[in-house]
């Protein structure tokens, strides 16, 4: 048994103190879910058309009003005869019966069908991010995802250098200030920059909270408490449309989101609710700080730190054994993965599967909600499938193992995507709908499980930066959809083909992963390199019994 594991067991194990801290870490996920779910509301595109300009009409038509004025000014397009969102009719002759001979762009702005996603005022309507400026909406979405990506990478390294608690509090301070700054943004470029920085701060808070929670749990409870945090995050996502209906202004909504993160800072700023991870302190040799936290854990769990049963050592004894050589604190960087034999490969595979899970999701959503004006359907469907994916993982992952469930989920993603690509012209509509929902559910499961798997195979000394890279790959995949929107979705089919090919390739890569179910978290790079690939199915006997040959044992 590793010395760090013996120390944590001597401090009461996963006793009352650690259980309460892990359960308390669920509540910040609601506020972080509010902040994460705000992006679809802020960029929801309402129905719109040009405001009529009577000066462009013949003199005899300028006295029209209401629907007659709209019919004379705005053309109707397509079989549905819907009003054009970006064009006005152009007349060349002043006679009243002269037909229009062309179209031109809007001259007096747009009329919007409000509320959009519960908001009477949004960045789209305030700065008219439609038609010629419609590309600015996916630019803002890409900027926000880029902020999350950079936050995961940079602040993930900060978690390993300065600690989980320091990064969590610093990220909350930044998120509160930047969220308030978004509510006061005076121009679209200012909002663009603030959304990028705000996304990075939220990523740092989420990552530090995730890692600290995982390191407080023992192996049998890691899955349940991690999935519980995911459910609380979905609660925040579901509450957001209701807040939007109450606020009706995007600036007020952002102010409420900043207030929520500020309240997190007020309560979770106390060490009693969010102490530094003792697992990280022990792994980096900071025994003085670890002693204070573990002493509190032992007393809160009803364990005497100085005395223990005869068959076990006391907390004081275990800590004295660890500090016998007067170790100096040692910090590690993610670049040290280059010197590992297996850990870098495991991280690369999990990052690749996370990229697939995040990138292919937009392809399934496009099949479910092809209309640009749809909001509530895809929004609540995504939240519902998130809950379904979490429940599925809770029921299967500890029973079948991380690797097998990840393999099956990736297989479902690949098959559903292949069938959608090849059978879109031949399969009935209900089949396409079923495949889209199934693929979306499986892609959610792949993303969630890749994050948990990555946190379990990376060692404590670089767990923040390792998990940050896995999450950054997921946000990189999600950024592919708004980038395609900037090009008018001309590359959407090719994007679907690429991610489908990646899903098939990921199937082969997942087979190379080790199984982390029931194992303690690796502390050092050497420990993580000992996580070897085990048999996928454990039902076969490990010893043959041929009567005339000596017994041979299988190698796990």
- At 20-56, the pLDDT tens digits run 999 999 999 999 998 888 888 999 888 888 998 888 8
What is the per-residue pLDDT for 114? 83
- What would the mean pLDDT of 375-387 be, rounded to a whole number? 89
- What would the mean pLDDT of 325-329 be, rounded to a whole number? 65
Decide if pLDDT at 553 tops 50: no
Decide if pLDDT at 5 tops 90: no
- What would the mean pLDDT of 109-116 be, rounded to a whole number? 86
What is the per-residue pLDDT for 173? 95
**For the segment 120-159, what is each residue's pLDDT rounded down to a tens digit?**
999 999 999 998 888 999 999 999 999 999 999 999 999 9
Element (H, E) at 83: strand 82-83
- What would the mean pLDDT of 492-498 be, rounded to a whole number? 86
Instruction: State the Rg of the chain over Cα.
Output: 28
- What would the mean pLDDT of 466-489 be, rounded to a whole number? 87
What is the per-residue pLDDT for 322? 67
**pTM confidence score:** 0.90
Residue whose entry in the numeric block shows the structure tokens 């099956």? 408
- What would the mean pLDDT of 421-436 be, rounded to a whole number? 84
Decide if pLDDT at 320 tops 80: no
**For the segment 154-165, what is each residue's pLDDT rounded down to a tens digit?**
999 999 999 999
Decide if pLDDT at 349 tops 70: yes
Over the chain, what is the mean pLDDT?
85
Most confidently modeled range among 34-48, 177-191, 477-491, 515-529 = 177-191
Question: What are the start-end ranges of the H helices in 51-135?
Answer: 66-73, 123-126
Give the confidence band of 543 by pLDDT, cuts at 50, 70, 90: very low
Does residue 121 sit in helix, strand or coil? strand
Give the confidence band of 367 by pLDDT, cuts at 50, 70, 90: confident
What is the per-residue pLDDT for 545? 41
What is the per-residue pLDDT for 309? 60
More confident residue, 548 or 204: 204
Give the confidence band of 73 by pLDDT, cuts at 50, 70, 90: confident
What is the per-residue pLDDT for 318? 67
- What would the mean pLDDT of 356-383 be, rounded to a whole number? 80
Measured distance CA(51)–CA(73) in Å, rounded: 8
List CB contacts of 553: < 8 A, sequence separation 6 or more.
542, 543
- What would the mean pLDDT of 201-214 be, rounded to a whole number? 95
Does residue 522 sit in helix, strand or coil? coil
Question: What are the start-end ranges of the H helices in 360-479?
Answer: 361-368, 376-400, 402-423, 429-457, 463-478
Measured distance CA(175)–CA(209) in Å, rounded: 14
Give the confidence band of 205 by pLDDT, cuts at 50, 70, 90: very high
Backbone φ/ψ region at 518: left (φ over 0), alpha (ψ -120 to 50), beta: left
Measured distance CA(47)–CA(540) in Å, rounded: 60
């Amino acid at each position: 048994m590793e010395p760090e594991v013996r120390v944590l067991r001597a401090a009461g194990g996963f006793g009352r103190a650690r259980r309460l801290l892990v359960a308390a870490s669920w509540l910040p996920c609601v506020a972080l879910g509010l902040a994460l779910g705000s992006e679809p509301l802020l960029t929801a595109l309402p129905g719109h058309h040009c405001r009529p300009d009577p000066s462009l009409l013949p003199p005899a038509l300028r006295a029209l009003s209401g629907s007659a004025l709209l019919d004379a000014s705005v053309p109707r397009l397509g079989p549905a005869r819907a009003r054009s969102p970006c064009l006005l009719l152009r007349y060349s002759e002043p006679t009243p019966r002269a037909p229009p001979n062309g179209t031109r762009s809007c001259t007096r702005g747009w009329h919007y069908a409000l509320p959009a996603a519960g908001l009477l005022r949004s960045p789209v309507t305030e700065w008219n991010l439609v038609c010629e400026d419609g590309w600015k909406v996916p630019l803002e979405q890409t900027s926000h995802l880029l902020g999350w990506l950079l936050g995961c990478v940079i602040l993930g390294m900060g978690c390993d250098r300065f600690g989980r608690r320091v990064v969590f509090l610093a990220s909350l301070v930044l998120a509160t200030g930047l969220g308030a700054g978004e509510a006061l943004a005076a121009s679209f470029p200012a909002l663009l920059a603030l959304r990028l920085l705000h996304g990075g701060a939220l990523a740092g808070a989420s990552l530090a909270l995730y890692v600290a929670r995982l390191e407080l749990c023992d192996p049998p409870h890691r899955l349940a408490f991690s999935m519980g945090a995911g459910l609380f995050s979905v609660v925040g996502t579901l509450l957001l449309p209701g807040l939007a209906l109450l606020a009706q202004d995007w600036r007020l909504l952002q102010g409420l989101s900043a207030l929520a993160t500020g309240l997190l800072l007020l309560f979770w700023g106390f060490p009693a609710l969010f102490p530094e991870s003792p697992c990280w302190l022990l792994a980096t040799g900071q025994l003085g700080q670890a002693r204070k936290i573990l002493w509190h854990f032992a007393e809160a769990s009803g364990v005497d730190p100085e005395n223990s049963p005869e068959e076990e050592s006391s907390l004081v004894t275990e800590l004295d054994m660890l500090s016998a050589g007067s170790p100096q604190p040692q910090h590690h960087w993610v670049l040290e993965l280059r010197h590992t034999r297996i850990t870098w490969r495991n991280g690369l595979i999990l990052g690749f599967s996370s990229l697939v899970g995040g990138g292919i999701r937009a392809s399934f959503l496009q099949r479910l909600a092809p209309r640009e004006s749809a909001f509530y359907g895809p929004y609540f469907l995504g939240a519902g499938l998130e809950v379904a994916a979490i429940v599925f993982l809770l029921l299967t992952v500890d029973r079948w193992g991380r690797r097998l469930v990840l393999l099956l989920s990736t297989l479902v993603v690949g098959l559903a995507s292949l069938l959608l690509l090849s059978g879109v012209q031949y399969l009935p509509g209900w089949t396409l709908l079923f495949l889209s929902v199934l693929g979306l559910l499986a892609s959610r499961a792949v993303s969630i499980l890749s994050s948990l798997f990555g946190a379990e195979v990376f060692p404590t000394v670089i767990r923040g930066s390792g998990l940050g890279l896995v999450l950054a790959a997921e946000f990189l995949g999600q950024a592919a959809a708004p980038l395609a929107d900037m090009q008018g979705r001309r590359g959407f089919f090719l994007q679907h083909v690429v991610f489908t090919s990646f899903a098939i390739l990921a199937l082969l890569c997942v087979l190379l992963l080790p199984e982390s179910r029931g194992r303690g978290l690796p502390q050092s790079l050497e420990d993580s390199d000992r996580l070897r690939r085990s048999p996928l199915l454990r039902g076969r006997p490990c010893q043959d019994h041929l009567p005339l040959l000596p017994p041979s044992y299988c190698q796990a």
